[in-house]
Structure 1
Amino acid sequence: MLNQVTIAGQKGNAMNKIDKQSYRADQFESAKGGTAVDVLKNLPSVAVNGEGQISVRGSTGFLVLVNGKPVLTDAQAVLSQLPANSLENIELITSPSAKYDPDGKAGIINIVTKKGANDGFTIAANAQAGLPSTTTYNNEEQPKRFGGDITLNYLKDKWDISVGANYLRNDNAGYREGDVFTKNFSNQTITRFPSNGERSFDKYNYATRLSALYTADKSNSFSIGFFSGKRYQARLADLLYKNTTSNLSTGNLMSSTTYFNSNLQTKEGNFTLGNFDYTHTFSNKSSLTASVLYENANLFGNTKNLNLNYPNIGDTIQYVYNPYKNPVNGYRFKLDYAINIGKGKLESGYQFRYDTQDGQFDYFVTPAISQPDAARFSGSAKAKNQINAVYTQYSAKYNKLEYIGGLRYEYASRTVNLSYDPIPHKLSLSNLFPSLSLMYNISDDLKAKAGYSRRIQRTNNYELNPIPEREHSETLEQGDPDLLPSFVDLSELGIIKTFKKGSFFTTLYYQHIKNPIQRVNSVYADTILNRVFTNAKRAYTLGIEAGTNLQLVKWWSLYLGANVYNYKIDGDLNILGSNSIISNDEWVYSINGNTNFKLNPTWSLQGNLNYLSQRPTVQGDDSRFLIPNASLKKTFMDGRFSATLQWQNIDLGMKQTNRQRITTSGRDFYTTTNYIYETDVFLLNFSFNLNKLTGKSKLPASEFGDKEF
């Protein structure tokens, strides 16, 4: 019923609706063989930094949907398990209506996967192989890169069945340069501990997915889904530290030592889930849909931190071992009713969400040391979250005006039980989440839109866990069981212009954030910083995004997106009981570009660029981040088979690409770390399609467990 604006170009690369922007996934050749993250980072207002953290309009919190179904887990973890080759479209829902979960301060990303378009059997298969690394940074091991995925679909009569499987090994070489100092005002000392060395990743994931839709008759349909997958990551940091302690007043050297730190952190997760949906359509064309989902995620891992003498690294100074187990169980029940009233549609529903996490964390130090707070480094942390929600919304079109207005009410409760604390940490919240979206058709080729919605950025159990983990030699990490969720008011105003060879859009947006969740540093000991989660008082974002999609000539297309915003954070900051007043204010911008040259009917060349400028954090800033890519594609057999050569993270020895410096400081510390990631990576991708896949395939994805991974 509500119109959409399709952007001109090959196969309709993008389109705008009243509440969202939709982008065709396969237009980005550099993402082939990768994951959904590799597609997403090319979209306007989306940026991915050196740590792989995804932000939309400068905010890192957003909700992920897979084919319209909520995935409450961490966006980066979910998207990294979805193969890019299986995606049809990615939708950015920047002004979500009341029927959507209010989670995510930046809005919603909906992933639409492929399915068979024709009756009968459809198959799509892809394989990837990485060429030898051009930059290894003298790492202990050579990175391994290979993978593949396959999707089978059977569409006949009343049945629509999809089966998918994927495996991806994607290691990364890397290097780290760091410099830290802490001040001890009681002892009048300053301790410096610069370091440098290897920082590399071994990563793989694999999964199988199944979905089956049975349309019994025109009034009843049933669907089931099953997902089983594994994700593994090992981060190795082999660093040489040169520690010195000097008098704070005179600068005279008091002591010095050099040691080698080998730090290996592994994280693993086994995910299993099942879902069942039923839809009944009544004689008056109204519909009732019931959905049930259950997930189990077995999460576990450890950190091994080994300090060794140097140059005789056979002598151990200290060995710290932090193993953990953190299983998750989650449930969701949803009931939705929709009926046409007048020229519009009224939708109402109820949703129940419940998840539990039972974490066990251990801490072993060799040789044993006298540590007064050692008991707090081991124990259990059990979390329980429960949410009941109801909503109603109405959407319609009146002459040239389209609108969606609604209201959602939620009652949420959270309980965290700690083994060393007899008093449970409880939080109960009762909130309303209004939303309104408008689109006015000024003319056939010019439209204006506006939107408002209230959102919430909920805490995850990792942020709530106060049991410290020895992340590496110089850092502890811990959460806060009393951490508050963030509440966000989102407003936007934009225009969409289409013309013969493409289109242009621009949107002005504003975010007001209450209780923004921050990860900050404080001093734990002279050579150890404590990285903790806490709430700031407020933050603001005012920005403008713009994008254009042009078919300049028959053989050359161009897509360009940009986002510019001012981010300000201020107010009281409580760090482990110590209060301080903070204020940081800075302009940030990002640019994503993609250009495609059709050399002839079977050859194409593509280049793309992702750039994120320096951006502020609560205690410092992150430097700019640059990623250029290129790809060359050849198709065979009328497009059914293709081979693609990818050149990722193009640097050519200039030392400008795929590196980022993160700096924070306080009254008694300063830390800066330059993370240098692998550049000039070459990959070969091969794709085969028997009856091309299009449309939407409702293959399930992890619902609860990825968030905690």
Structure 2
Amino acid sequence: MFFRKEIASFILFFFITSAFAQKSSFKGIVIDNQTLEPIEYASVSLVSQIDNSVVSGVITGKNGNFVIQNIQSGNYKIKIYFIGYEIQYLENILLKNNQVLNLDTFKLQRSNQSLEEVIIKGTKSNFYNKIDKQQYKADQFATANGGTAIDVIKNLPSVTVNGQGEISLRGSNGFMILVNGKPVLSDAQTLLSQLPANTIENIELITSPSAKYDPDGKGGIINIITKNNKNGIALISNLSGGLPSINDYDNLEKPKRFGGDITFNYRTKKFDITISGNYLRNDVNGYREGNVFTKNFINNTITRFPSNGERSFDKYNYGTKTAISYTANKNDVFNFGFFIGKKFQARRADIVYNNSTSDLNTNALISENAYFNSNVQTKEGTFTLTNLDYTHTFANKSNLMTSLLYENADLYGNTINKNLDLATRSIVLQEVNNPYKNPIDGFRFKLDYSIPIGLGKLESGYQYRFDQQNGKFDYIVTPISVQPDAANFRGTAKSVNHINGFYSQYSGKTNKLDYIAGLRCEYSSREVVLSTDSNPHLLKLSNLFPSANLLYTFNTYWNAKLGYSKRIQRNNNFELNPIPEREHSETLEQGDPDLKPQFVDLVELGMNHSFKKGTLFATLYYQNIKNPIQRVNSVYADTILNRVFTNAEKARLLGLEFGTNLKPVKWFSLYLGGNIYNYKITGKLNILGITSNVDNSNWAYSLNTNSTFNLDKTLSLTANINYTSAKPTAQGEDSRFLSPNLSAKKTILKGNGTIGIQWQNINFGNMGSNQQRITTFGADFYTTTNYTYETNVLLLNFSYNFNKISSKNKLPTSEIGEKEF
């Protein structure tokens, strides 16, 4: 009954909204007369034919469309203007009462002025704040050239990247990734590390997503928009290489850093064909030092095991993508894509341990032991994806789109943990291997329909998602030891997920108010089957996800927005797998098959201001989190901690984010973004059957700044700083993290080529760049580890463009497999 009432109220809301929206208005579309591509952000002014006074004005949207609403009957003319195009007028337009006048399509003619003259007259903004998102131009962050998407997004005001490479949005590790508006369920760190920064046009932060988006990701959505080109042949290539390391951490191998990507695009009015390939080797050298103790209250002892040594990464990935877009006619468009790629990562931790056991009361030494631990953890994956999309536009301007995607990922790896004698480091005292295979299959089907109603648009759709993973995990100890629970360390884990989702939303504009309101209904089922447990672990959910966004424009310079969205952070299979892995000498890792997903209510209130020299925004936001997932420690043995995933009861996050883009003079631009928030987590934690209470809260903040100096028309210098303060966790604190970077870029070959040099993670004296200390503690343990990664890294980049990359077609992107890598 409750569900029926919600749906009835929802449908009634749309009818009422549509009825009130019937007022006199103009609508139309602005496109380029040569390429027929829509022109976004063109200025459209409504002018009185009688006295030439400006009555109203708007800018065009992403599809080049515009609507001017709440206009009295009369005689008007339209003026359309965009930098680089001739101004176009439409004279003597008669508007009647309650008339919705469709002006059809305006085709703008390119101006004969030179590009240099246009640049002097004005530049396109690097930042836009819309009703449900913030949009940033990627090329303003020059220090990311030759890098990956991570190097771009870490500059945004609400995004932080810590020493472990973990990405957070508004203090949350859970968020969703889109590529050109297409959902991607893969792990953010893995996916973004494979996407070259040079191919990115814009980054959108969708902090209050509407109902048409998947509700996954408690922090919101990051949408990556790739570059586009005109008709014809386009080719872009990028090469990068690292200079020899400046700092030496006495690692076993020297890091290798080089890569390249090339994309060929052929585009006509009907076909858009893209073939691309990339290779990236990006090793990271480093060092770690830690201090741990555990208390055994039964034996009345305390065991200390401080450690120090190498922590480095060998990483590479390569792949090829093919995508074909075919426009059969103006109403029918087909997209096909295929991808195959490989990703590899090896983490080495060669650590010296100095273990000692003492009396808990007197601290009298009972025993001590020193040894060398060599630990190598490898992860590999081969990914194959294919997608097929079809879009049909009807005569009434409504659209129907269907989308199919299939993915197969062959995931496997091993952790080899060797304890060796300290003197020679050649005698194996104990070796533990954790080989595994974890292949995955995934499928997604989408059906979306949109139709203009009144002065707005009604969108509805259905989506079905399925994935299954069959994991086989082994545990081999040499020499064989007596371990009563050894059987729990090997076995199989199979998980199956089904998700059915329906949504409907209405968006429109009345006078100065833009609005979007919608509801998404989802039914999902999850089953985890374990060889170590005869009973399957089942979870079935039926949930409603409402959303609403308002944007009120006071005048040309000021607007305010209000948004609400309900989200869900689902559990991945790594979090659900209870079979322990010996990550290294002092740590086991395991999941919980009965973990609950996190449910989040997001609310935000923001103010945006634009002025002659730039833009400024500030947004106050609140998150109410149910079942927050925590990665916590417990004592497995005197010298081994067990890291497990568990749910706390609740958490809340209150924050303020702000940002500004300034260009006080034409040779200098400044971007500054920040985020300050208070995070509080409370309730009971169930750690392997043992209940404990958590009540932890604190303030945290981050600052990202980016300055560009244009020394002349071909040479620029960019400096940026990423800083994250210390922040609380369920059992402790992560320390602050600092990363300063500098880059110089020069265009050559008549503007077609670019060479650059980057100085990453700059470090002088006691700056402490690119290092972070992780501390956790409980009643019977304490652990603190400082991770120090390579600083003062120098990279050389070269890029050559025959034209720009196409984004018309949709390259397939991993939905599931990357998430489990």
Which bracket does the TM-score occupy, shorter chain normalised?
over 0.9
- How far apart, in 1, do the equivalents of 2:301 and 2:508 lie? 68
Partner of 1:36: 149
Contact 2:138-2:152 within 8 A present in 1 as well: yes
Task: Say which SS state the counterpart of residue 600 (structure 1) adopts.
Answer: coil
Matching residue's letter, 1:260: F
State the AA in 2 paired with 1:67: N
- CA shift for structure 1 position 77: 1.1
Q: Structure 2 matches for 1:674-689, cutoff 5 A?
A: 674-689=786-801
Contact 2:247/2:790, CA 8 A, preserved across alignment: yes
Give the direction of change, closer, same or farther, for the CA distance of 1:271–1:695 in structure 2 (3 Å limit): closer
Letter in 2 for 1:172: V
**Which residue matches 1:218?**
330
2:171 to 47, 58, 74: 58
Q: Which amino acid aligns with 2:408?
A: N
Secondary structure at the aligned position of 2:813 is classed as coil
Contact 1:523 1:668 in 2 (8 A): yes
Alpha-carbon distance in 2 for matches of 1:26, 1:289? 32
2:614 aligns with one of 499, 502, 505: 502
- Report deviation, 1:5: 9.8
Equivalent position of 2:202 in the other structure: 89
* Alignment correspondent of 1:21: 134
- Structure 2-normalised TM-score? 0.85
Cα shift readout 1:204-252 (whole Å, capped 9, x = no counterpart): 0111112111010111110011111111100000000000000001100
Q: Does 1:391 align with 2:391?
A: no
Q: Name the structure 1 match of 2:222.
A: 109
Match of 2:46 in 1: none
- The correspondence of residues 396-415 of structure 1 with structure 2, limited to 5 A, is 396-415=508-527
Q: Which of the numbers 533, 551, 564 marks the counterpart of 1:452?
A: 564
Sort the Cα spacing of 1:378 and 1:630 in 2 relative to 1 into closer, same or farther, 3 A: same
Say if 2:404 is the partner of 1:272: no
Task: Please name the residue that 1:442 is paired with.
Answer: 554
Q: Structure 1: which amino acid aligns with 2:743? A: S
Distance 1:9 1:27, change over 3 A: farther
Question: Could you give the per-residue CA deviations for residues 650-695 of structure 1, whole angstroms, max 9, x where no partner exists?
Answer: 0034351000000000000000000000000000000101123476
Aligned residues: 707
Residue segments in structure 2 that go unaligned for 5+ positions in a row: 1-26, 28-57, 63-120
**CA distances 1:531-570 after superposition (whole Å, capped 9, x unpaired):** 0000000111000000000001110000000000000001
Identical-pair percentage: 65
Aligned to 1:188: 300
Residues 696 and 15 of structure 1, relative CA distance in 2, 3 Å threshold? farther
What secondary structure sits across from 2:620 in the alignment? Answer: strand
Equivalent positions of 1:19-418 (< 5 A) are: 19-115=132-228, 117-418=229-530
Residues in 2 aligned to 1:263 and 1:541: alpha-carbon distance in whole angstroms: 37
Contact 2:325 2:808 survives alignment (8 Å): no
Bigger mean CA offset, 589-598 vs 85-94: 85-94
Residues of 1 paired with 2:260 and 2:158: CA distance?
30
Structure 1 pair 23/696, CA: closer, same or farther in 2 (3 Å)? farther
Q: Take 2:124 and 2:347, find their aligned partners in 1: how far apart are those partners?
A: 41
- Aligned to 1:532, the other structure's residue is in SS state strand
Kindly indicate whether the alpha-carbon contact (under 8 Å) linking 2:563 and 2:604 is maintained by their aligned counterparts in 1: yes
Counterpart code for 1:662: I
Distance of 1:688 and 1:615 partners within structure 2: 42
**Contact 2:335/2:809 (8 A) holds in 1:** no
Whole-Å separation in 1 of the counterparts to 2:356 and 2:122: 61
Residue 584 of structure 2 corresponds to 472
Gaps of 5+ in 1: none
Is the Cα–Cα contact under 8 Å of residues 274 and 806 in structure 2 kept in the other structure? no
Q: Is the 8 A contact 1:468 1:477 kept in 2?
A: yes
Distance in 1 (CA, whole Å) between partners of 2:776 and 2:666 is 49
8 Å Cα contact 1:35/1:84 also seen in 2 = yes
Aligned to 1:684, the other structure's residue is in SS state strand
| 1:250-299 C-alpha deviation (Å, 9 max, x unpaired) | 10000001000000000001111000000111111111100000000010
Residues 66 and 700, structure 1, Cα contact 8 Å, conserved in 2: no
Where do 1:569-584 residues align within 5 Å? 569-584=681-696
CA RMSD of aligned residues (A): 1.3
Relative to total residues, which structure has the larger strand share, 1 or 2? Answer: 1
SS at match of 1:136: coil
Mean Cα deviation higher: 652-661 or 131-140: 652-661
- Deviation track 1:104-140 (CA, whole Å, cap 9, x = no partner) reads 000001111123x211100111000100001120101
Q: RCO greater where, 1 or 2, for CA within 8 Å and sep 6 or more?
A: 1
**3-state SS, counterpart of residue 466 of structure 1:** coil
Among candidates 738, 741, 746, match of residue 629 of structure 1: 741
> Max radius of gyration: which structure?
2
Q: Structure 2: how far apart are the matches of 1:575 and 1:136? A: 40
Q: Secondary structure at the match of 2:819?
A: helix
Once residues 160 and 711 of structure 2 are traced to their aligned partners in structure 1, the CA distance between those partners, rounded to angstroms, is 30
Q: Distance in 1 between matches of 2:201 and 2:606?
A: 26
Q: Deviations over 1:405-446 (max 9, x none)?
A: 000000000000001111100000000000000000011110
Separation in structure 1 between the aligned mates of residue 767 and residue 380 of structure 2, nearest angstrom:
32
CA–CA distance in 2 between the matches of 1:624 and 1:544?
19
1:338–1:432: structure 2 CA closer, same or farther, 3 Å change rule? same
Q: 1:672: which partner in 2?
A: 784
Q: Distance in 1 between matches of 2:820 and 2:686?
A: 24
Q: Is the 8 A contact 1:113 1:697 kept in 2?
A: no
TM-score, length of structure 1 as denominator length: 0.98
Displacement of 1:3 = 5.9
Selected match of 2:595 from 467, 483, 508: 483
Instruction: Please tell me whether the aligned partners of residues 211 and 520 of structure 2 are also in contact (alpha carbons under 8 angstroms).
Output: yes
The residue aligned with 1:699 is: 811
Distance 1:151 1:9, change over 3 A: farther
Separation (CA, whole Å) in 1 of partners of 2:333 and 2:311: 51
Q: In 2, Cα distance between the equivalents of 1:171 and 1:523?
A: 33
- Alpha-carbon distance, 1:33 to partner: 1.2
Aligned AA for 2:468?
T
Kept in 2: contact 1:9–1:550 (CA 8 A): no
1: distance between equivalents of 2:585 and 2:739? 30
Whether contact under 8 Å (1:3, 1:17) holds in the other structure is: no
Q: Within 2, Cα distance between the matches of 1:445 and 1:160?
A: 39
Q: What one-letter code is carried by the residue in structure 1 that aligns with 2:709?
A: F
User: Take 1:660 and 1:697, find their aligned partners in 2: how far apart are those partners?
Assistant: 41
Q: Give me the whole-angstrom Cα distance separating, in 2, the residues matched to 1:94 and 1:682.
A: 34
Residue 600 of structure 1: CA displacement? 0.6
